[in-house]
Amino acid sequence: MNPAAPTATTPAGAWSLGGLSFSSRLVLGTGKYPSHEVMRACHEAAGTGMVTVAIRRVDLTGKTGPSLLDFVDRSLIRLLPNTAGCYTAKDAVLTAGLAREALATEWIKLEVIGDEKTLMPDVEGTLEAARELVRQGFKVLPYVPADVVACRRLEEIGCPAVMPLAAPIGSGLGIRDPHALRLVLEAVTVPVIVDAGVGTASDAAVAMELGVAAVLLNTAVAQAKDPVAMATAMKLAVEAGRLAFLAGRIPRRAHATASSPPEGVPGA
């Protein structure tokens, strides 16, 4: 059986990342939710198998109240700590070390921000940090522009996936440059995960229809008027987009093509 083919239990098809298998192709975050309870409900509605945690922005100790980790079912969901808020490679490497110590994981979502206003990644800093973190044994998932050269370099360094942004973080602008994402998909062999910019379910479906392995999003669900309903919508959109990619769309044509054959039509 084709491992990428959909099944009754995994409609979007199971996929592998860094030696692990996931049935859900939707990765969610843990920030900006109205409450920890709503966050947990969204994770359940989405059926996600991985969520991101911003190490520098969250109290993981529970000293100021219940920790968000108390609301993540770690028997079903893998934690992916990230280096959000880091503006240098040095800070990102340090934060990754803290994450490994606090959460006992080698996985890290690498973010090295280059511009405070747009939160666009610093490519040079990302490459520098990725080299050091891979050397230290981390499984690095880098947040990066949809740039062929940068993504290829990160694969060569040893990153098990690349995570190009669709639009600036939290903007909800959707897939701004699908062609750039297609070029990245052609350039690398590791999974491509769209990270940042998804605003609604149709954006997630478009990303999956391009052939990416998964979609990572946070604000689109956490800040929706009904976060749980949006989490459900995102789950269905990711599954629909993946199925559409596997099915193969018809070619675009400049003119109409009749759906019914002319044979058998009176007078034809």
Q: What is the pLDDT of residues 9-34, one digit of tens each?
A: 445 578 999 999 999 999 999 999 99
The confidence score (pLDDT) of residue 2 equals 43
Do the bridges between strand 15-17 and strand 20-22 make them parallel or antiparallel, or are there none, so unpaired?
antiparallel
Higher confidence at residue 98 or residue 259? 98
Q: How many CB atoms lie within 10 A of CB 107?
A: 22
CB 222 within 8 A of CB 39: yes
Domain segments of the chain as ranges: 15-247
Per-residue confidence (pLDDT) for residue 235, from 0 to 100: 97
Per-residue pLDDT at 253: 85
- For residues 42 and 222, the answer to whether their CB atoms sit within 8 Å is yes
**The pLDDT of residue 121 is above 80:** yes
Element (H, E) at 129: helix 123-135
End-to-end CA distance of the chain: 45
CATH of domain 15-247: 3.20.20.70
**Residues annotated as part of the active site:** 109
Q: pLDDT tens-digit profile of 45-55? A: 999 999 999 98
Q: Which amino acid type is present at position 76? A: L
* Ramachandran region, residue 19 (left: φ > 0; alpha: ψ -120 to 50; beta: rest): left
Q: What is the pLDDT of residue 4?
A: 47
pLDDT at 8: 45
Backbone angles phi, psi at 53, to 5 degrees: -135, 125
- Exposed / middle / buried, residue 96 (Cβ in 10 Å: 0-12, 13-18, 19+): buried
Q: Which of 43-47, 104-108, 250-254 has the lowest mean pLDDT?
A: 250-254
239: Cα separation from own chain's centroid: 14
